[in-house]
Amino acid sequence: MSRRKLQLLFVTSELYPLVKTGGLADVSYSLPQALSALGVDSIILIPAYAAALQRLQNTKKVYTFTGFERCGVSKGCSLLEARIPDSSQRLLLFDSPELYQREGSIYVDENQQDWPDNARRFAEFCRAACGIALGQCELGWQADVVHCNDWQSGLTPAFIKTYAKPEDHTPASIFTIHNLAYQGIFDRQSFDDLRLPPQWWSADALEFYGNFSFLKAGLIFADYITTVSPNYREEILTTEFGYGMEGVLDSRKDKFVGILNGADYTTWNPATDPHLDQAYDGKSLEKKSQNKLALQKQAGLTEDKNIPVVGLIGRLVPQKGIDLVISTLENLVSETVQWVILGSGDPIFEKRLRQLSQQHRKKIYFCAEFNEVLAHRIEAGADIFLMPSRFEPCGLNQLYSLRYGTLPVVRNTGGLANTVVNATANNIRQGTATGFVFNKVDATELQRILLYALRLYRDKPLWRQLCFQAMSQDFSWLQSAQQYKELYRKVLGNLRGSLADH
């Protein structure tokens, strides 16, 4: 058999820079391209959201579903082909205007309520992914592996297992959990309306406490399960973090691995970042202060490079520990420290942060509208970055912060625990410290560790040493992509030995 590249269909509901609500979009952009550098021929599949189509040029229709495909996609839906902007990465978009051409976010309407037809929107998407995977869409390309991400793609492995025939070139399926808290749960009526196989309504399949779960479909039917950090893999096998899925995961733990997400250093690199006032690296760390002054000016804060700046970028939800942040901020408002917070979410959190920023305009800046440029400027201009999450599957901002010499303050959970080394006296002596880690979900604990960080900040030679150590860490996607490629080979070897050498 002639050697050819391993062919990967990467199925995701978000993709930077086209449509993004969280870290999944960044992973979906970076991982396939890192795999391409390792010789994997990848195609990304996303829904053809209005926002995505507006950002793309030169899309072309490459297939129209007839209604006769085994996968069951509605007649008249189509596949569009494009390239990710400023990239050679091949992209397919599943186009169904009725499902995706609408105002609002990709998951929720303008009132922040889930779209009532989300079950149908993403079931159709999964059917399309299955059609591509089984070679029914006349693309002249056949997937060896289908890599599905989060609940929105969870039915795909189930459809593949159900609709594949013995004569098919049936691909292996991988399902990645990016956040187990989001499970795609719908009621029995939705199950029936989606024309799903009746045998799937079972505790051994999709049924989940009287409803059914897209995510559970991925966990049950995929050939292998991954999640985004080794530590999170261990956590979600427990009752505390398993959200009711710990039994399912435990039953498949021999085919379940944690692979740490990577950072895209082509986008997040202070030496080349076009959004910064001043480029810098570990050898020119003194230039970082110019970005602080620029951030202070933009935020309307007192401009003084000696005042420590604490940054936070993220969703304002309890998972991220925002209640702990607000409590700590209120207690430390008299300290010589500034805060720059970028994020949206719970209206109660937004209201309180807005009040605090109005009361202390020279110390606290809050922006509720996500701004990618401002995110880069916070990473470069802040001295300390807060991620006090109750749980965090992997986290990306702490990786970006390390590279920008902005020392992260994190809770000892998930991927945060895998990536940040606490600045204890011993770790500082050994030259391994890269940030600050606390254990208990408690505002007093967060305040304690933050005050410790601010005390070390006053020791400029020590702080510079910690920043340099943080910036020297390598969490590039190449290592993670290599692990994924090896996993693809392993799973293919189990399915079809001849393909394991591709």
Q: How confident is the model at residue 23 (pLDDT cuts 50, 70, 90)?
A: confident
- 269 part of a folded domain: no
pTM of the model as a whole: 0.90
Token pair 């807005």: residue: 354
Contact by Cβ (8 Å): 168, 135 = yes
- 46 part of a folded domain: yes
Contact by Cβ (8 Å): 378, 429 = no
Cα–Cα distance measured from residue 91 to residue 10, given in angstroms and rounded to the nearest whole number: 9
If asked whether residues 244 and 302 sit together in one domain, one would say no
- 274 part of a folded domain: no
User: Which pLDDT tens digit goes with each residue over 114-166?
Assistant: 999 999 999 999 999 999 999 999 999 999 999 999 999 999 999 999 999 98
User: Would the pLDDT of 498 be above 90?
Assistant: no
User: Which pLDDT tens digit goes with each residue over 338-354?
Assistant: 999 999 989 999 999 99
User: Would the pLDDT of 501 be above 60?
Assistant: no
If asked whether residues 422 and 494 sit together in one domain, one would say no
Q: What is the DSSP string of 325-361?
A: HHHHHHHTTTSS-EEEEE--B-HHHHHHHHHHHHHTT
Question: Any long-range contacts for 236-240 (C-beta under 8 Å, 24+ apart)?
Answer: 236/177, 236/180
If asked whether residues 218 and 195 sit together in one domain, one would say yes
Q: Which of 170, 171, 164, 155 is nearest to 220 (CA)?
A: 155
Pairing of strands 78-83, 90-95: antiparallel
If asked whether residues 391 and 248 sit together in one domain, one would say no
> Please, what's the largest Cα pairwise distance for the chain?
71
If asked whether residues 490 and 449 sit together in one domain, one would say no
User: Which ranges of 68-117 does DSSP label H, i.e. alpha helix?
Assistant: 97-100
Q: How confident is the model at residue 370 (pLDDT cuts 50, 70, 90)?
A: confident
How confident is the model over 369-389, as a mean pLDDT? 96
If asked whether residues 358 and 236 sit together in one domain, one would say no
- 297 part of a folded domain: yes
User: Which pLDDT tens digit goes with each residue over 77-98?
Assistant: 999 999 999 899 999 999 999 9
Q: How many domains does the chain have?
A: 2
50 contact partners, CB below 8 Å, separation of at least 6: 100, 101, 102, 103
Token pair 């829904």: residue: 47
pLDDT of residue 196: 97
pLDDT of residue 245: 98
User: Would the pLDDT of 368 be above 70?
Assistant: yes
C-alpha 119 chain-centroid distance: 21
If asked whether residues 42 and 183 sit together in one domain, one would say yes
If asked whether residues 223 and 155 sit together in one domain, one would say yes
- 320 part of a folded domain: yes
Residue 209 one-letter amino acid = Y
Strand partners, 438: 411
- 114 part of a folded domain: yes
If asked whether residues 350 and 495 sit together in one domain, one would say no
- 272 part of a folded domain: no
Residue 307 one-letter amino acid = I
If asked whether residues 216 and 357 sit together in one domain, one would say no
Q: What is the DSSP string of 273-286?
A: -TTSSS---GGGGG
User: Which pLDDT tens digit goes with each residue over 274-328?
Assistant: 999 999 999 999 999 999 999 999 999 999 999 999 999 998 999 999 999 999 9
If asked whether residues 296 and 429 sit together in one domain, one would say yes
C-alpha 50 chain-centroid distance: 21
User: Would the pLDDT of 499 be above 50?
Assistant: no
If asked whether residues 305 and 444 sit together in one domain, one would say yes
Mean pLDDT, rounded, of the chain: 95
User: Would the pLDDT of 268 be above 90?
Assistant: yes
Domain of 409, CATH number, reads: 3.40.50.2000
Task: Determine how many CB atoms are found less than 10 A away from the CB of residue 461.
Answer: 6
User: Would the pLDDT of 500 be above 50?
Assistant: no
pLDDT of residue 3: 63
Contact by Cβ (8 Å): 111, 64 = no
61 contact partners, CB below 8 Å, separation of at least 6: 78, 79, 80, 81, 95
- 276 part of a folded domain: no
244: left (phi over 0), alpha (psi -120 to 50) or beta: left
User: Would the pLDDT of 177 be above 50?
Assistant: yes
User: Would the pLDDT of 45 be above 60?
Assistant: yes
| Residue-range definition of the domain harbouring residue 180 | 7-262+478-501
User: Which pLDDT tens digit goes with each residue over 429-480?
Assistant: 999 999 999 999 999 999 999 999 999 999 999 999 999 999 999 999 999 9
DSSP classification of residue 498: G
Q: Which of 124, 125, 102 is nearest to 115 (CA)?
A: 102
pLDDT of residue 495: 80
pLDDT of residue 497: 57
Q: What percent of the chain has pLDDT over 70?
A: 98
H or E stretch covering 491: helix 477-495
